[in-house]
Amino acid sequence: MNRLTIIGNLVRPPELRTTQSGISVCSFTVAVNRRRTGNGQPEADFFNVSVWRELGETCAKYLAKGRKVAVVGSVSVRSYTNRDGNPGATMEVLASEVEFLSPREEQQAPKPNPAPVVDQQTGMQQVTMDDDLPF
């Protein structure tokens, strides 16, 4: 069984392309943090992800650099020869599922908090039903 699950953050904005036959494919890179090493330095692994068709279009529309995602898919490893004639290999995750993990508040521009209205006679702050109560 070839199935990989990763959770991490996008390192750059996703790129949406269309094949000659009109099929959409979205590509992005996910940084997955490792446990800290003995010297306390954080390390990360970087996974290239491809998402096809409607799910790819949705990823391109709603994901952005820094957003946290969970990706489930199969791993494909390809070997190649670069321009200098040296062999190389690349690993790609072909995503079958992508879950957006960043809270909705992070995906929208922050709203400024209005100044509280204070009654001049009593010194009490007016509270509306939309405000969080302190108790």
Q: What is the pLDDT of residues 54-108, one digit of tens each?
A: 999 999 999 999 999 999 999 999 898 989 999 988 889 999 999 999 876 555 5
What's the burial of 103, exposed, middle or buried (CB within 10 Å: 0-12/13-18/19+)?
Answer: exposed
Confidence label for 130 from pLDDT (cuts 50, 70 and 90): low
Report the topology of domain 4-105: OB fold (Dihydrolipoamide Acetyltransferase, E2P) (2.40.50)
Listed in sequence order, the residues at least 6 apart from 129 whose beta carbon sits closer than 8 Å to its beta carbon are none
pTM attached to this predicted model: 0.70
